[in-house]
């Protein structure tokens, strides 16, 4: 009897199409697995998917909503992509996003209603970058100086950031908190003045939030930074071969710290954009529920850490999220969007194995004494 | 076949393919009972794959194995051990914090894990085995306390403890001093006398011819011939398929001495440093190199060589002492300063330290000049310049690869080393520090590397050649410095070099005379 066995062998070379085929294939596999879940719950997967596509991209105003959902994912996706690229596993996008929101809303409130609009927007973005950047710097320095595991430190700092935001609105009479009107009864943040509301670009059928445009520009800038600059060259060497980087006269600890701060700043801008473009208020509960930081890791993984691809993946996942909001109701499972996102991440990470290894079928030696060629 | 005359172990028509490589093709050979059998071949000839098949680590794609005349199929190393085949790997598989006896018991069925076991009985058996095969080792010593030679003895006892009838050793002398190698040889002979069989894998012609009863030569994955030949040059011809250009011939053109007026380009004074484990690695080491001179540092691995070269490259800080390059003091702990002063460094760990495996050949060639014009136009780098420079250097140093954009991890060992040498020699260095430059390379690549080093010396570069391969050091160096426990015991002029004396110095058997 011949027994077939599957085994993984490292790929000796990578076909050009493979880096693209694997995430696309993983995504499709996730849809198939999601369909199984839907069938079990008594839904028709085809019609559910058709409705998702419709409410995410096709119907009136759908794409606008999708871009709104995609904007925070775009920033947290870039945050994860740039850090993971050098092997700095920043799981702290969540907390850096919150710090960006705290800094961004704080400066908007401070500047008040008389600040010139353009200045208000620019200063908010910079302060968001500062807040997130400082928050990202902490695990960066700890890693570079003391070899602390950045996964743990950045993750823990997420909770710290969340608690700070909650404290500012619920547990103190801070500068951020609205203390008049209904705010005297129900704790909530102060609304930032109108001048600090980020503009929106009206293209007729689609309204593009300024934050999304900013994210696209930053994604392009990151692409150039990584591919065309000395710093990008150093990032590539440090990421793949830190010992070699040191040998070549680079300073890996500085590169790691700089990238940690950059990564945090990207999430921080996301937080400021979230306040400026959509919420207009520091909203700790809303931030916690949305979990943009963690979703950003999914985005970065699906985009294979390519900043330009992050833009498209953010739109895709933003669309699913958006459709989830729109379709939520008695006939639509509320947890489906979460299940789908989870499946997509699961299959993407699983698919990475196929990108690096090939599956070969071997046959155990049988009576015939001859091994068959792998099919 | 009768059991009495059946070979202890034999392979028939064994073929093993890996993606893109045929490691073994139609290999057939047999090992007799009580025989010392050598598997001779260049690097990449398929020796290690074959031994992994014999020990159940790989399964052959085609062909089969017989043990004692009976066809056997190994699904795992456990099956091979059960069939009486044991392996001593080149890199030992011992747990440093365990004692000798614990290491030997581990995995033998008398595991200390998960219950009580009779350690005293294991220790007794270890003592018994070490007596009968002249393998002195203390069963209660922790493995990290042992020298490399002692650890190898532990590995051998481990195999004997499992009642192996066939012992396979992968490059057993690679890590040993000459004296230790002699002891190993007599151990192997006594094992053969006791009716066991020994298969040892080697590419060192000398030991193969003196030790082996029969030799199977592997070339490009095929078994070429099994011979009783003991003539070194005949074996060499079989191994590489042509007459060997011996190392000493390739270096015949070098002058005996470098002029005493030649300026000193590297001066190391009373260098002290700690190793990774906080123990003293360099203990007042001094050495100097003149322009155009090759100074060889001979010694057994782990006597401070790594620490010395890492300090020269700025990768490690010394605790005291100085390094002077062409009259200028080397800053401590800076990797840029040595580069600026013209110290080039070819590390032993080529892929892990010298190159970024995922980057292209051209990018790796630019690794030390990406920061400066014309490669850089701050803040940008010019990929076109990197690629053009890369192509030129590949041409000049005969790096064989599909293109300059090929990732370096895809290159063979020889080409990897050529990329490294191309980068380190093309930036007009004053001092070139090379560590084990030909380790793991095949004969052709060895000759190329040696010639490159000789050319560099002739053009006036001072070369510090650190190598565990004594033949290489003897062949290339104007002066030979023997390192032992972090000190240079003696520096010997090439014409006075005497292998026996250097061997004793390497083993710390002679007092220093320097």
pLDDT for B148-181, tens place per residue? 788 888 999 998 888 889 999 988 877 777 778 8
For B325-339, what is the mean pLDDT? 90
Res. B372 pLDDT band, cuts 50 70 90: confident
pLDDT at A66: 93
Whether the CB-CB separation of B35 and B192 falls below 8 Å is answered with yes
Compute φ and ψ for B376, nearest 5 degrees: -100, 145
Flag if A230 and B381 touch (Cβ within 8 Å).
Answer: yes
Chain B: closest CA distance from residue A4 (Å): 14
Flag if B379 and A12 touch (Cβ within 8 Å).
Answer: no
Two tokens, residue B285: 């080491």
Decide if B388 touches A, using CB distance below 8 A.
no
Two tokens, residue B148: 């490399």
pLDDT at B400: 85
Position B325 pLDDT exceeds 70 = yes
Residues of chain A in contact with residue B379, where contact means CB-CB under 8 angstroms, are: 229-231
Mean pLDDT, chain A, as a whole number?
A: 87
Position B513 pLDDT exceeds 60 = no
Residues of chain A in contact with residue B62, where contact means CB-CB under 8 angstroms, are: 370-371
The residues on A that touch B, with CB distances below 8 Å, are 9-13, 228-233, 236-237, 240-241, 243-250, 358, 362, 365, 369-371
Query: Which of B 5-24 lie inside 8 A of A, CB atoms?
Result: 18-20
Flag if A229 and B64 touch (Cβ within 8 Å).
Answer: no
User: Which of B20, B363, B368 is the closest to A12 by Cβ?
Assistant: B20
Flag if B380 and A243 touch (Cβ within 8 Å).
Answer: no
Chain A: closest CA distance from residue B410 (Å): 8
Residues of chain A in contact with residue B61, where contact means CB-CB under 8 angstroms, are: 371
- DSSP 8-state symbol, B496: G
**In terms of Cα–Cα distance, which of B373, B464, B353 is closest to A243?**
B353
For A257-267, what is the mean pLDDT? 97
Of the residues B56, B373, B381, the best mutation for testing chain A's interface (the one with the most A CB atoms within 10 Å of its CB) is: B381
A184: Cβ–Cβ under 8 A, 6 or more apart, which residues?
Answer: none
What gap in Å lies between CA A297 and CA A82, rounded to an integer? 11
Flag if B359 and A237 touch (Cβ within 8 Å).
Answer: yes
Lowest mean pLDDT segment, chosen from A119-128, B59-68, B252-261: B252-261
Decide if B512 touches A, using CB distance below 8 A.
no
Of the residues B73, B362, B380, the best mutation for testing chain A's interface (the one with the most A CB atoms within 10 Å of its CB) is: B380
Flag if A244 and B354 touch (Cβ within 8 Å).
Answer: yes
Give tens-digit pLDDT for B119-132: 888 888 889 988 88
Size of interface A-B (CB pairs under 8 A): 83
The SS3 of residue B255 is coil
B235: Cβ–Cβ under 8 A, 6 or more apart, which residues?
Answer: B40, B205, B208, B209, B215, B217, B227, B229
What gap in Å lies between CA B137 and CA B467, rounded to an integer? 28
Give tens-digit pLDDT for A35-61: 998 888 888 889 888 988 998 888 888
pLDDT at B421: 94
What gap in Å lies between CA A358 and CA A356, rounded to an integer? 7
Decide if B367 touches A, using CB distance below 8 A.
yes
What gap in Å lies between CA B231 and CA B223, rounded to an integer? 19
Strands B487-493 and B479-484: antiparallel
Lowest mean pLDDT segment, chosen from A149-153, B198-202, B223-227: B223-227
Of the residues B338, B367, B402, the best mutation for testing chain A's interface (the one with the most A CB atoms within 10 Å of its CB) is: B367
A201: Cβ–Cβ under 8 A, 6 or more apart, which residues?
Answer: A207, A208, A209, A210, A213
- DSSP 8-state symbol, B110: -
Flag if B356 and A233 touch (Cβ within 8 Å).
Answer: no
Whether the CB-CB separation of B346 and B420 falls below 8 Å is answered with yes
pLDDT at B509: 66
B344: Cβ–Cβ under 8 A, 6 or more apart, which residues?
Answer: B424, B425, B427, B429, B431, B432, B433
Flag if A247 and B18 touch (Cβ within 8 Å).
Answer: no
pLDDT at B218: 86
User: Which of A13, A237, A243 is the closest to B352 by Cβ?
Assistant: A243
**In terms of Cα–Cα distance, which of A313, A325, A273 is closest to A124?**
A273
pLDDT at B43: 63
Interior angle at CA A33, CA A28 and CA A37, nearest 5 = 140
pLDDT at B514: 47
Q: What is the DSSP string of B164-223?
A: -SEEEEESTTTTS-HHHHHHHHHHHHHHHHTT-EEEEEE--HHHHHHH-SEEEEEETTEE
Flag if A228 and B383 touch (Cβ within 8 Å).
Answer: yes
Give tens-digit pLDDT for B493-507: 888 887 777 777 776
- DSSP 8-state symbol, B118: -
Two tokens, residue B371: 């920061």
For B228-251, what is the mean pLDDT? 61
Q: Does ipTM top 0.85?
A: no
The SS3 of residue B291 is coil
Residues of chain B in contact with residue A246, where contact means CB-CB under 8 angstroms, are: 315, 335
Whether the CB-CB separation of A137 and A257 falls below 8 Å is answered with yes
Left (φ > 0), alpha (ψ -120 to 50) or beta: where does A318 sit? alpha
Residues of chain A in contact with residue B313, where contact means CB-CB under 8 angstroms, are: 247
Interior angle at CA B101, CA B98 and CA B102, nearest 5 = 45
What gap in Å lies between CA B299 and CA B282, rounded to an integer? 13
C-alpha dist (Å) from residue A216 to A75, A129, A209, A221, A222: 9, 16, 11, 9, 10
User: Which of A229, A247, A362 is the closest to B354 by Cβ?
Assistant: A247
Flag if A240 and B359 touch (Cβ within 8 Å).
Answer: yes
**In terms of Cα–Cα distance, which of A365, A374, A89 is closest to B63?**
A365
Flag if A230 and B376 touch (Cβ within 8 Å).
Answer: yes
User: Which of A231, A247, A248 is the closest to B379 by Cβ?
Assistant: A231
C-alpha dist (Å) from residue B462 to B256, B393, B431: 15, 22, 5
User: Which of A230, A365, A369 is the closest to B370 by Cβ?
Assistant: A230
- HEC string for chain A: CCCEEEEEEECCCCCCCHHHHHHHHHHHHHHHHHHHHHHHCCCCHHHHHHHHHHHHHHCCCHHHHHHHHHHHHHHHHHHHHHHHHCCCCCCCHHHHHHHHHHHHHHHHHHHCCCCCHHHHHHHHHHHHHHHHHHHHHHHHHHHHHHCCCHHHHHHHHHHHHHHHHHHHHHCCCCCCECCCHHHHCCCCECCCCHHHCCCEEECCCCEEEHHHHHHHHHHHHHHHHHHHEHHHHHHHHHHHCHHHHHHCCCCHHHHHHHHHHHHHHHHHHHHHHHHHHHHCCCCHHHHHHHCHHHHHHHHHHHCCCCHHHHHHHHHHHHHHHHHHHHHCECCECCCHHHHHHHHHHHHHHHHHHHHHEEEEEEECCCCCCCCCCCC
Position B361 pLDDT exceeds 90 = yes
Flag if B367 and A9 touch (Cβ within 8 Å).
Answer: no
Q: Which residue has the higher pLDDT, A311 or B509?
A: A311
pLDDT at B111: 55
User: Which of B353, B359, B378 is the closest to A230 by Cβ?
Assistant: B378
Chain A: closest CA distance from residue B48 (Å): 18
Decide if B315 touches A, using CB distance below 8 A.
yes
Position B445 pLDDT exceeds 60 = yes
B-chain residue closest to A372, CA distance: B61
Q: What is the DSSP string of B19-42?
A: TTEEEEEEEEEEE-TT-EEEEE--
Residues of chain B in contact with residue A2, where contact means CB-CB under 8 angstroms, are: none
Exposed, middle or buried, A6 (CB in 10 Å: 0-12/13-18/19+)? exposed
pLDDT at A298: 87
* Residue the block writes with tokens 């409130």: A109
User: Which of A13, A245, A247 is the closest to B347 by Cβ?
Assistant: A247
Chain A: closest CA distance from residue B434 (Å): 14
Interior angle at CA B423, CA B427 and CA B415, nearest 5 = 155
Flag if A228 and B381 touch (Cβ within 8 Å).
Answer: yes
pLDDT at B485: 84
For B26-41, what is the mean pLDDT? 90
Flag if B380 and A229 touch (Cβ within 8 Å).
Answer: yes
What gap in Å lies between CA B274 and CA B283, rounded to an integer? 9
Lowest mean pLDDT segment, chosen from A14-18, A36-40, A134-138, B337-341: A14-18
Flag if A233 and B315 touch (Cβ within 8 Å).
Answer: no
- Give pTM, 2 decimals: 0.74
pLDDT at B251: 46
Whether the CB-CB separation of B51 and B81 falls below 8 Å is answered with no
Chain A: closest CA distance from residue B253 (Å): 33
């Amino acid at each position: 009897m011949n027994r077939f066995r599957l085994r993984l062998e490292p790929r000796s070379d990578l076909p050009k199409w493979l880096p693209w085929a694997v995430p696309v294939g993983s995504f499709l596999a996730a849809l198939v697995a999601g369909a199984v879940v839907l069938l079990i719950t008594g839904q028709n997967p085809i019609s559910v998917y058709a409705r998702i596509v419709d409410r995410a991209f096709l119907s009136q105003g759908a794409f606008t909503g999708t871009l709104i959902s995609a904007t925070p994912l775009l920033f947290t996706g870039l945050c994860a992509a740039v850090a993971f690229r050098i092997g700095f596993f920043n799981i702290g996008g969540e907390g850096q996003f919150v710090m960006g929101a705290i800094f961004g809303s704080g400066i908007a409130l401070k500047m008040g209603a008389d600040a010139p609009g353009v200045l208000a927007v620019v200063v908010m973005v910079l302060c968001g970058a500062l807040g997130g950047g400082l928050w990202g710097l902490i695990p960066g320095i700890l890693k570079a100086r003391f070899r602390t595991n950045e996964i743990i430190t950045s993750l823990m700092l997420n909770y710290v950031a969340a608690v700070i935001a909650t404290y500012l609105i619920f547990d103190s009479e801070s500068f951020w908190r609205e203390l008049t009107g209904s705010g005297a009864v129900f704790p909530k943040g102060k609304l930032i003045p109108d001048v600090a509301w980020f503009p929106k670009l009206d293209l007729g059928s689609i309204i593009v939030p300024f934050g999304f445009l900013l994210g696209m520009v930053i994604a392009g800038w990151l692409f150039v930074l990584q591919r065309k600059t000395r710093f990008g060259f150093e990032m590539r060497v440090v990421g793949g071969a830190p010992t070699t980087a040191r040998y070549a006269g680079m300073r890996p600890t500085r590169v790691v710290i700089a990238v940690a701060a950059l990564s945090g700043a990207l999430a921080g801008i996301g937080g400021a954009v979230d306040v400026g473009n959509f919420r207009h208020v520091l909203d700790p509960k809303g931030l916690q529920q949305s979990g943009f930081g963690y979703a950003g890791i999914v985005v970065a993984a699906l985009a294979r850490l390519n900043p330009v691809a992050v833009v498209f993946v953010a739109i895709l996942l933003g669309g699913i999220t958006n459709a989830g909001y729109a379709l939520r109701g008695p006939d639509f499972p509320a947890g489906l969007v979460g299940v789908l996102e989870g499946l997509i991440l699961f299959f993407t990470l699983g698919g990475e194995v196929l990108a690096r290894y090939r599956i070969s079928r071997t046959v155990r030696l049988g009576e015939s004494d001859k091994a068959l060629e792998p099919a | 076949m009768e059991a009495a005359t059946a070979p202890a172990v034999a392979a028939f028509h064994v073929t093993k393919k890996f993606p893109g490589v045929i490691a073994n093709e139609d290999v057939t050979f047999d090992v007799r009972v009580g025989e010392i059998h050598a598997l001779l071949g260049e690097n990449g000839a398929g020796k290690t794959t074959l031994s992994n098949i014999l020990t159940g680590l790989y399964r052959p794609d085609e062909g089969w194995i017989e043990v004692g005349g009976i066809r056997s199929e190994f699904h795992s190393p456990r099956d091979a051990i059960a069939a009486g085949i044991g392996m001593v790997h080149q890199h030992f598989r011992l747990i440093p914090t365990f004692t000798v006896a614990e290491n030997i018991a581990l995995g033998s069925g008398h595991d200390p894990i998960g219950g009580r076991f009779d350690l005293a009985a294991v220790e007794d058996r270890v003592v018994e085995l070490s007596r009968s095969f002249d393998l002195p080792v203390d069963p209660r010593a922790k493995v990290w306390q042992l020298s490399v030679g002692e650890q190898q003895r532990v590995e051998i006892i481990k195999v004997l403890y499992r009642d192996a009838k066939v012992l396979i050793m992968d490059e057993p002398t690679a890590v040993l001093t000459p004296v230790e190698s002699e002891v190993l040889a007599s151990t192997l002979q006594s094992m053969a006398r006791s009716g066991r069989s020994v298969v040892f894998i080697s590419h060192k012609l000398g030991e193969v011819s003196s030790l082996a009863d029969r030799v199977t030569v592997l070339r490009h994955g095929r078994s070429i011939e099994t011979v009783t030949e003991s003539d070194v040059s005949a074996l060499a011809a079989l191994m590489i398929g042509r007459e060997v250009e011996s190392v000493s011939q390739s270096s015949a053109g070098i002058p005996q001495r470098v002029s005493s007026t030649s300026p000193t380009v590297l001066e190391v004074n009373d260098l002290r440093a700690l190793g990774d484990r906080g123990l003293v690695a360099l203990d007042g080491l001094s050495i100097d190199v003149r322009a155009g001179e090759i100074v060889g540092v001979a010694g057994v691995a782990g006597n401070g060589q790594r620490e010395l070269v890492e300090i020269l490259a700025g990768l490690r800080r010394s605790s005291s002492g100085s390094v002077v390059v062409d009259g200028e003091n080397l800053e401590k702990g800076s990797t840029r300063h040595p580069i600026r002063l013209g110290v080039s460094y070819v590390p032993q760990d080529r892929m892990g330290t010298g190159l970024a495996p995922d980057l292209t050949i051209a990018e790796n060639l630019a690794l030390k000049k990406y920061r400066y014009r014309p490669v850089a136009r701050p803040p940008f780098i010019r990929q076109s310049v990197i690629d053009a420079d890369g192509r030129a250097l590949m041409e000049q140093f005969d790096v064989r690869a599909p293109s300059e954009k090929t990732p370096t991890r895809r290159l063979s060992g020889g080409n990897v080393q050529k990329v490294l040498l191309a980068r380190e020699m093309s930036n007009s260095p004053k001092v070139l520090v090379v560590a084990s430059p030909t380790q793991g390379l095949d004969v052709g690549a060895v000759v190329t590397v040696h010639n490159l080093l000789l050319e560099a010396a002739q053009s006036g570069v001072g070369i510090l050649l650190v190598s565990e391969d004594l033949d290489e050091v003897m062949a290339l160096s104007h002066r030979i410095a023997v390192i032992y426990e972090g000190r240079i015991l003696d520096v010997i002029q090439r014409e006075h070099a005497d292998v026996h004396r250097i061997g004793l110095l390497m083993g710390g058997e002679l007092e220093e005379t320097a």
